[in-house]
Amino acid sequence: MPIRVSPISAFRDNYIWMIRENGSNEVSVVDPGDSEPVLSVLRKEGLSLSSILITHHHADHTGGVKTLLEHFPDVEIYGPRHGTFPIITAAVLDQDRLHVAGMDLRVIQVPGHTLDHIAYYCELSNSPAAGMLFCGDTLFAGGCGRIFEGTPTMMYNSLQKLATLPPAIMVYCAHEYTQANLRFALCVEPSNADVIERLRQVSEARNLEEPTVPSSLSMELRTNPFLRCHIHAVRKSVLESMAISPASSDIEIFAALRRWKDNFSG
């Protein structure tokens, strides 16, 4: 049966993804940092919460779980087995498979932003080249998460894992950071026509207060500098801006690019 995925806005720029199989009134939500907007949608649409997917332990992704559990005590809570968030009923590891809201999901371990970070990947049965990726704060539209607990090598390798998934998949990240990320991407690759056009479209959407996610992985591969550290134009820009060795590896380019973005105010 077809799957519907819709965003529930939370805080200033978070997205809680609600997954629903058509014809069912049971839903799953991804990273509910706040319970109230979730409960509001469930009440309004007459829905019941059956499961929660957690990507990592940060409070803006887990803060609503306790209250949601009070309203739906039988809810299944999936999350990383080696994480620090205590309210998990079904701990999962890399390559584990689960069935949620009509979808078969595969767990992908993606440490870097945090040590426990995981993503959930659904390969849709109607096409081997299409699917959905719920990636929390690892891969953003036009960017990637800050490295709080892991290392640049961890984060680079995690992003490379995601980059090998089918390009047609849709990427459901957890924050509305796209416009700022693409401004940085344009600074890195000012001649990238795909970045220029994407930033134009995203700016129009944000002027209308419309979400800019999900995006396709193929779009990320063309416009996201953190997936393009092997591209000559990105390497050249990083070498010029960060004064690192011309012999730097792709991982070292990535680490410098992440430091550049951490201090970017454009």
Could you give the residue numbers annotated as active site?
Answer: 56, 58, 60-61, 113, 137, 175
User: What are φ and ψ of residue 18, in 5° steps?
Assistant: -105, 125
Using CA atoms, how far residue 104 sits from 121, 183, 249, in Å, is: 8, 36, 37
Give 257's strand partners. Answer: none
Number of other CB atoms surrounding residue 3 within 10 Å? 14
